[in-house]
A and B are shown apart, each in its own frame.
Chain A
């Protein structure tokens, strides 16, 4: 049962607590796992329901559970970049999303990748892209400031923003502008003078032979004045000062809410403020803010459940995880690019718009075709077997049998008749049933 929540900014971020009115159900567990990751298998969803809400949240944030997996993937990522291009690296990341034991970590990495958008096509150096990807993952659930500091030295980022040279005689304003507009404050919270002054702080920050170097001869050590502070700041100190701005925490809070809670509802300053306060008071600890968001009443309310549209990556990876499908990920990457979202290839410096932009007349058809191609490709395997084997191996708990498509797979339920028909079709021809499911509007919702 989804609670109808009155729009109340104070109450919105109060912790959700399972109750008689809103018990912890399989559908809420599915909602949490979809948003905090890419959805789960039937067994994972049932486990989430049975172990309870608090234990599920704890498990989501246990990044140590992925330590061994991450080490393996780092080795394979390096091998991929040794012998192949960034498209293969994108396929490697898709694989990582599909198989990770800590989906929140990959989801957060994807979120920050959209936030600090960097395109592999322009960077043209898959090793630099891999290093940035590792950096985002390392910091994804940690304090924000070290992440910004590290990204300000990141080779891929500096190449992408044309900031590989920054001399004191001609400060390069690109990075300073994006730092405030896209990464930390948002438009309207800084002036052109601030940009010019902050650009001086970053003079001498250069890329040489694909490495970040600080060229002290080109650094402007003079006094700078911006955002109400004065001093002979360098880049790191400029970042400190930017993040001290009240707008910074609010800006990050809104981005998190838009990505994890809902797309289209207007996010007022009042609604974002409790999360912004959480960030300010915890030195921008992202894990704390995320825990607050994912445990909140509003997150489990009808303002959030089913109120987002699945991005192409969420759509595809969700299916790969639920059906345990093994597919050619390089080909999947090509399909996702046609749907508008291939990781490492954002459309521009602002990243993906998300929300309703994912759906138009051509992508809705292409989304259904993607599923048709995946589930009618005889070389794909499902938990290392056939689709029929996979169907046969699924738990047949009568508690879930009657309405499993609605419970496990859909944020907005189908009518009982439609769901029953689809479940029957699933028994006759699973591939056809999945293709049909992929075409229904409810399946596009997250």
Chain B
């Protein structure tokens, strides 16, 4: 029977369990059950699942833990982090030094480096489960060497006990046995070893269930649950593998806002709307993480078109066929987002999507915006003039030597496609002129430089660009100078940009688009799936890093105020951020809606390890 133990010697518990948890959180494994007889799963991820109770709702498995540790160990990102001054400072902190001493003690007594001990302890895998019924979290490890595991656990307990004794505190754990398991209890937290298996749980009841399943096997475990089998079938092997029983999480009333199927925030609705349908109904969520020369995260939710709310056609498109438009990709791109969204449909469905207070606010905005747009109905006529699909582009902005603002923001633009160009173009242009006029009145009242609006034709593009008028009295460094608000038309495309040069570049790129292209998911590994995405985002960290560095002085000043640092300390912290950003080369996100599932894939590529071309 697991024994109760008074809570004392908490530091030692932290140290002992921390060591074990640190093993768990950095590793992976194809589990082989102690009594694996009738278990149906074909996937290595499922083997540890047969020891967790059937009520487990979150399951995470690290398959090849030793290999993952080695990958992390050898990864240039880790080496670069090791060079960061903050990391160097961390490893000289008293806590780290104490942990290092304790580790050295363990190494001396086991006659093996702690890393090798960890690799051996995790060699056959690691799994973490959360069980709402016992309100417990458990970690299961399987070692490839029972004797080593036994020695390591015994040594850690010895070091913890002797540390407590030296400090005059009682030994913070109680040793015991439960059936064939050797246990130690730190208050409610239990660690147990059975042959080459090792269990840590914050609840005795959960540890007991896992122990019983390990010894006896179970016909009613997580592995036998229908939802879990479905996840196993849908997923492939990964460094880290996660399954969540959404039905059970919903039933327990956890995170109700996520599962309500509604948000009363128009912005969140525009971005996430369809996902809320899936979260409201989907039985499970699965995720995979692979870490190599890049980091790949893939999440999948089952989906049924019948779950789609009829007011959310703006998100899915007709018959779920909405795909992101072709992107225009200018030079010095920081980020590019393309997404299928029918903004007119979204605006006009507000009565079905939001509560009364938000509807009233949107109605008021509708009326004000209609005034700016020369009396046109904002939803029907203005947004309605746009085809579904939007692009947001962010690029590095070039500055002339004179009038460089203190804060150098990037340029950004919104790109849309008009349904019928000629008449709406003129009205859009008039609305833009009105907005510049309003801005000039405000700027004039504040004694700021005003905007001079000029219209020009460049090739087939019609450009209306407003630029600040400088004179000798203009105070240097005003934030405003970053912008030259511009509206451009090229063919059916309408471009609204913070910067004239960007608008011109985008207008030129319109001519280079190939008809019929769609945005393909870069991580698609199943050719049978529809080769198009609902939303795609990519960013270039190298350009972002350059922009951040232009603004180093501003970031240093902000750091000084927020942390009370002197300049040198602030500079060190800001440079640390640059150091981390510089380790990443670029990244992207793809979101797909399919008739049977929704998929989200994220890739992060590290510097010096360029990947295959994204499209």
Chain A residue with minimal CB distance to B565? A326
A380–B562 CA distance with the chains assembled, in angstroms: 10
CB pair A72–B567 under 8 Å, yes or no, is yes
Chain A residue with minimal CB distance to B568? A384
A26–B553 CA distance with the chains assembled, in angstroms: 39
Q: A82-B406, A208-B447, A210-B447 are in contact. Are A88 and B553 (CB under 8 A)?
A: no
Q: A75-B553, A76-B556, A78-B477 are in contact. Are A320 and B564 (CB under 8 A)?
A: yes
**A-side contacts of B94, CB under 8 Å:** 386, 388
CB pair B553–A79 under 8 Å, yes or no, is yes
Contact of A82 among B479, B564, B569 (CB under 8 A): B479
| Residues 38-87 of A at the B interface (beta carbon under 8 Å) | 72, 75-76, 78-80, 82-83
Interface of A: prevailing SS: helix
**B-side contacts of A79, CB under 8 Å:** 406-407, 553-554, 557
Contact with A along B331-371 (1 / 0, CB 8 A): 00000000000000000000000000000000000000000
Contact of A330 among B473, B475, B477, B561 (CB under 8 A): B561
- Which one of A92-100, A341-349, A359-367, A407-415 is at the B interface? A92-100
B514 in the interface, Cβ–Cβ < 8 Å?
A: no
CB pair A82–B447 under 8 Å, yes or no, is no
**B-side contacts of A99, CB under 8 Å:** 566
**A-side contacts of B447, CB under 8 Å:** 208-211
A232 in the interface, Cβ–Cβ < 8 Å?
A: no
B329 in the interface, Cβ–Cβ < 8 Å?
A: no
A210–B448 CA distance with the chains assembled, in angstroms: 9
Contact of A92 among B446, B475, B561 (CB under 8 A): B561
Contact of B562 among A98, A211, A328, A386 (CB under 8 A): A328
Q: A95-B564, A327-B564, A330-B562 are in contact. Are A384 and B569 (CB under 8 A)?
A: yes
Contact of B564 among A72, A209, A210, A328 (CB under 8 A): A328
A388–B407 CA distance with the chains assembled, in angstroms: 38
A92–B564 CA distance with the chains assembled, in angstroms: 9
**A-side contacts of B405, CB under 8 Å:** 82
A176–B557 CA distance with the chains assembled, in angstroms: 38
A210–B473 CA distance with the chains assembled, in angstroms: 11
| Residues 82-122 of B at the A interface (beta carbon under 8 Å) | 94
Contact with A along B548-581 (1 / 0, CB 8 A): 0000011011101111111101000000000000
**B-side contacts of A332, CB under 8 Å:** 564
| Residues 398-443 of B at the A interface (beta carbon under 8 Å) | 405-407
The count of chain B contact residues (Cβ–Cβ below 8 Å) is: 25
Chain A residue with minimal CB distance to B445? A209
**B-side contacts of A76, CB under 8 Å:** 553, 556-557, 560, 567
A198 in the interface, Cβ–Cβ < 8 Å?
A: no
Chain A residue with minimal CB distance to B449? A209
A78–B406 CA distance with the chains assembled, in angstroms: 8
B458 in the interface, Cβ–Cβ < 8 Å?
A: no
**B-side contacts of A95, CB under 8 Å:** 560-561, 564
B531 in the interface, Cβ–Cβ < 8 Å?
A: no
**A-side contacts of B473, CB under 8 Å:** 211
A325 in the interface, Cβ–Cβ < 8 Å?
A: yes
A185 in the interface, Cβ–Cβ < 8 Å?
A: no
B254 in the interface, Cβ–Cβ < 8 Å?
A: no
A330–B406 CA distance with the chains assembled, in angstroms: 21
Chain A residue with minimal CB distance to B566? A99
B469 in the interface, Cβ–Cβ < 8 Å?
A: no
A328–B558 CA distance with the chains assembled, in angstroms: 10
**B-side contacts of A83, CB under 8 Å:** 406-407, 479, 554, 558
A383–B127 CA distance with the chains assembled, in angstroms: 43
Q: A209-B447, A211-B447 are in contact. Are A80 and B557 (CB under 8 A)?
A: yes
CB pair A329–B562 under 8 Å, yes or no, is yes
Chain B residue with minimal CB distance to A327? B564
**B-side contacts of A384, CB under 8 Å:** 569
A290–B407 CA distance with the chains assembled, in angstroms: 40
CB pair A329–B479 under 8 Å, yes or no, is no
A91 in the interface, Cβ–Cβ < 8 Å?
A: yes
**B-side contacts of A329, CB under 8 Å:** 560-562, 564
Contact with B along A312-339 (1 / 0, CB 8 A): 0000000010000111111010000000
**B-side contacts of A80, CB under 8 Å:** 557-558, 561
**B-side contacts of A381, CB under 8 Å:** 563
Central interface residue in B407, B556, B561, B562, by most chain A CB within 10 Å: B561
A176–B426 CA distance with the chains assembled, in angstroms: 56
Chain A residue with minimal CB distance to B446? A210
Chain B residue with minimal CB distance to A82? B406
B478 in the interface, Cβ–Cβ < 8 Å?
A: yes
Instruction: With both chains docked as a complex, state the minimum distance between the C-beta of B11 and any C-beta of chain A, in angstroms.
Output: 16
CB pair B566–A82 under 8 Å, yes or no, is no
**B-side contacts of A330, CB under 8 Å:** 561-562
CB pair B562–A92 under 8 Å, yes or no, is no
| Residues 244-261 of A at the B interface (beta carbon under 8 Å) | none
**B-side contacts of A75, CB under 8 Å:** 553, 557
Instruction: With both chains docked as a complex, state the minimum distance between the C-beta of A254 and any C-beta of chain B, in angstroms.
Output: 35
Instruction: With both chains docked as a complex, state the minimum distance between the C-beta of A380 and any C-beta of chain B, in angstroms.
Output: 8
Instruction: With both chains docked as a complex, state the minimum distance between the C-beta of B408 and any C-beta of chain A, in angstroms.
Output: 11
A422–B566 CA distance with the chains assembled, in angstroms: 30
A78–B553 CA distance with the chains assembled, in angstroms: 11
Chain B residue with minimal CB distance to A210? B447
CB pair A91–B407 under 8 Å, yes or no, is no
Shortest 10 CB-CB distances between A and B: which pairs?
A: A209-B447, A76-B557, A326-B564, A210-B447, A327-B564, A82-B406, A79-B557, A79-B554, A91-B561, A329-B561
A sample of 27 inter-chain contacts (CB < 8 A) reads: A72-B567, A75-B553, A75-B557, A76-B567, A78-B477, A79-B406, A79-B407, A79-B554, A80-B557, A80-B558, A82-B406, A82-B407, A82-B477, A95-B560, A99-B566, A209-B447, A210-B447, A211-B447, A326-B564, A327-B564, A328-B562, A329-B561, A330-B561, A330-B562, A380-B564, A386-B94, A388-B94
A→B interface (CB under 8 Å): 72, 75-76, 78-80, 82-83, 88, 91-92, 95, 98-99, 127, 208-211, 320, 325-330, 332, 380-381, 384, 386, 388
Q: 12 extra interchain contacts, Cβ-Cβ under 8 A, other than A76-B560, A83-B554?
A: A75-B553, A78-B406, A79-B557, A82-B405, A82-B478, A82-B554, A83-B406, A210-B447, A326-B565, A326-B569, A327-B563, A381-B563
B→A interface (CB under 8 Å): 94, 405-407, 446-447, 473, 475, 477-479, 553-554, 556-558, 560-567, 569
